[in-house]
Amino acid sequence: MAVDSLRGARKVGRYTLLVSLAVVVLFPVYAVLLQALKSGPDSLDHPRSLLPVDLTMSTIRAAWTKGNMGRLLFNSAITSLAVTVGVVFTSLLAAYAFAFLRFPGRGALFVTYLATMLVPTEVTVLINQRTADSLGWMNSYRGLIVPSLASAFGVFLVRQVFMQLPNELREAAALDGVGHTRFLWEVAAPLSRPTLGALALFTFLGTWNAYLWPSQVIRGDLSHETVQIGLERLRNNDIDKVNLVTGGLVIAALPIFLMLVAFQRQLVRGLTAGAVKG
Among 60, 69, 72, 245, binds another protein (CB under 8 A): 245
Amino acid at 11: K
Q: Which is nearer to another protein, 163 or 211 (CB)?
A: 211
Choose the binding region for another protein from 54-62, 84-92, 163-171, 189-197 (rule: CB under 8 A): 84-92
120 interacts with another protein by CB under 8 A: yes
List helix spans (H) across 238-272: 242-262, 264-272
Q: Which long-range contacts (CB under 8 A, 24 or more apart) does 99-108 make?
A: 99/159, 99/162, 99/163, 100/162, 100/170, 100/180, 100/183, 100/188, 101/180
Closest separation in Å from C-beta 269 to another protein: 8
CA nearest 121: which of 100, 151, 96? Answer: 151
For residue 138, state whether it binds another protein (rule: CB under 8 A): yes
Instruction: Indicate the residue among 49 and 70 with the shorter CB distance to another protein.
Output: 49
**Closest CB 94 distance from another protein, rounded Å:** 4
Size of residue set near another protein by CB under 8 A: 109
The piece of 10-18, 57-65, 77-85, 167-175 that touches another protein (CB under 8 A) is: 10-18
Only one of the segments 51-59, 170-178, 187-195, 244-252 lies at the binding site for another protein (rule: CB under 8 A); that segment is: 244-252
Of 52-60, 67-75, 166-174, 236-244, which part binds another protein (CB under 8 A)? Answer: 236-244
Is the CB of residue 36 less than 8 Å from the CB of residue 243? yes
Applying CB under 8 A, does 71 fall inside the site for another protein?
A: no
Please give the distance of CA 162 from its chain centroid, rounded to a whole number. 24
Beta strands in 31-139 (DSSP E): none
Among 83, 71, 87, 121, residue whose Cα is nearest residue 252: 71
